[in-house]
């Protein structure tokens, strides 16, 4: 059974992420339906290359399936969507102090503003382009990340209202972000909602008529009272539930599968060690399958000795240390062929590991797993039906 990679699956890449478009559509329709029931529109968040799923494809799919806005973090992400043909409102919210907003203002990108300095930067772009900027004023309601502090909020609102009067900007929204929406009943949720309501009231008193948005995926699923006029769906759109069991999201369908194929098989004798450090020794004669995907491809080295894959219709242990380019799978006496498909994680419908399982093993969150799959060495394939 030794030898180089065979051609049982000649069209399967060495390592590949599959993105299930049907699952994306299902999830977006579910989430946007919950928002619509509250009278809210839906923003599909596609930052970080669509959480590893492909920003442009996810944006297009989301807009077809019920979303009417698209959200990203950085300006280059927003401009890439415009360049890709996205004409719907695109919101960008995290900017550096010397950001040049001119191209974004000209492209009609909605911009978050958290300070007078940021507003000045936007107004400078307005003067240079002659275009009107669409801005959302961000209030820090308790997360203590980005956002205007309460003591500075009235000044920011007054300045924005003045700029709107002169025609330089349109204040589209007042917004914030929840810290603990994935912990049902956490007192900070209501406290932050109250602060947003107060911040919005100050904006209304200044003559503005902005929409409000604070609900992330967890709040979309669990707090319809916080949907307001717009919700922002992130992780749930990709089929990964941010909520603990029993609090919604059970109908979500994971959209990503990570797979590879067997590059080499070999029999090794009992007592032979496997991989760097020889941390695993074969307790019996066995077949080892080499899978050409390692930590450079998104398999965390910390999963060494702690992960399984789906190979030949059953879960099998990865043995020895995860290498930069490969992992080794103990297949016992089963017949495994070079070229066979290996599923590292997927939706779990075939019994394969899931991104959530990886995250639990590593003590992290599934966001980190799927976002980490945006890698130059891993092919990305969009599939119209199913996960494989």
Catalytic positions, please?
47, 276
- Residue tagged 């599939």 (tokens): 383
Copy the structure tokens of residue 38. Answer: 């509250």
Alpha helices in 52-115 (DSSP H): 55-65, 75-83, 102-106
- Positive or negative CA dihedral for 181, 186, 189, 190? positive
Beta bridge pairs of residue 315: 310
Taking the CB of residue 212, how many other CB atoms lie within 10 A of it? 23
Copy the structure tokens of residue 292. Answer: 């050409």
CA-wise closest residue to 232 among 377, 385, 92: 92
CA-wise closest residue to 292 among 378, 383, 388, 359: 378
Residue 59's alpha-carbon distances to 27, 66, 160, 175, 237, in angstroms, are 13, 11, 30, 21, 11
- Positive or negative CA dihedral for 21, 24, 30, 33? negative
Three-class SS state of 30:
helix
Copy the structure tokens of residue 137. Answer: 């004023």
Residue 8's alpha-carbon distances to 169, 302, 336, in angstroms, are 60, 31, 11
């Amino acid at each position: 059974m030794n030898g180089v990679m065979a051609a049982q699956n000649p069209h399967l890449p060495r390592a590949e992420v599959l993105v299930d478009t049907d699952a994306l559509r299902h999830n977006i329709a579910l989430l946007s339906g919950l928002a619509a029931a509250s009278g809210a529109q839906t923003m599909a968040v596609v930052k970080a290359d669509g959480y590893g799923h492909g920003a442009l494809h996810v944006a297009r799919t989301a807009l077809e399936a019920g979303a009417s806005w698209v959200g990203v973090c950085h300006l280059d992400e927003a401009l890439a969507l415009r360049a890709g043909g996205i004409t719907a409102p695109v919101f960008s919210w995290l900017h550096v102090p010397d950001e040049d907003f001119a191209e974004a203002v000209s492209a009609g990108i909605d911009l978050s503003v958290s300070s007078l300095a940021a507003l000045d930067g936007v107004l400078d772009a307005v003067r240079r382009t002659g275009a009107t900027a669409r801005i959302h004023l961000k209030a820090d309601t308790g997360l203590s990340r980005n956002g205007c502090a309460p003591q500075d909020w009235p000044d920011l609102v007054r300045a924005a209202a003045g700029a709107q009067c002169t025609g330089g900007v349109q204040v589209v929204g007042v917004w914030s972000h929840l810290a603990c929406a994935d912990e049902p009943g956490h007192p900070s949720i209501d406290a932050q909602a109250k602060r947003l309501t107060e911040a919005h009231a100050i904006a209304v008193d200044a003559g503005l008529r902005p929409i409000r948005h604070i609900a992330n995926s967890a709040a979309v699923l669990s707090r319809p009272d916080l949907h307001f006029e717009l919700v922002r769906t992130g992780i749930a759109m990709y089929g990964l539930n941010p909520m603990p069991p029993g609090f919604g999201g059970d109908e979500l369908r994971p959209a990503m599968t990570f797979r590879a194929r067997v590059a080499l098989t070999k029999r090794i004798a009992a007592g032979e060690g496997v991989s760097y450090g020889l941390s695993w020794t074969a307790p019996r004669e066995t077949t080892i399958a080499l899978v050409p995907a390692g930590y450079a491809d998104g398999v965390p080295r910390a999963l060494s000795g702690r992960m399984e894959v789906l190979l030949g219709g059953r879960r099998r242990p990865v043995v020895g240390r995860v290498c930069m380019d490969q992992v080794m799978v103990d297949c016992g006496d089963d017949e495994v062929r070079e070229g066979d498909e290996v599923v590292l994680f997927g939706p779990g419908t075939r019994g394969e590991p899931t991104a959530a399982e990886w995250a639990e093993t590593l003590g992290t969150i599934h966001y980190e797993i799927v976002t980490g799959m945006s890698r130059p060495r891993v092919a990305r394939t969009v599939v119209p039906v199913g996960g494989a």
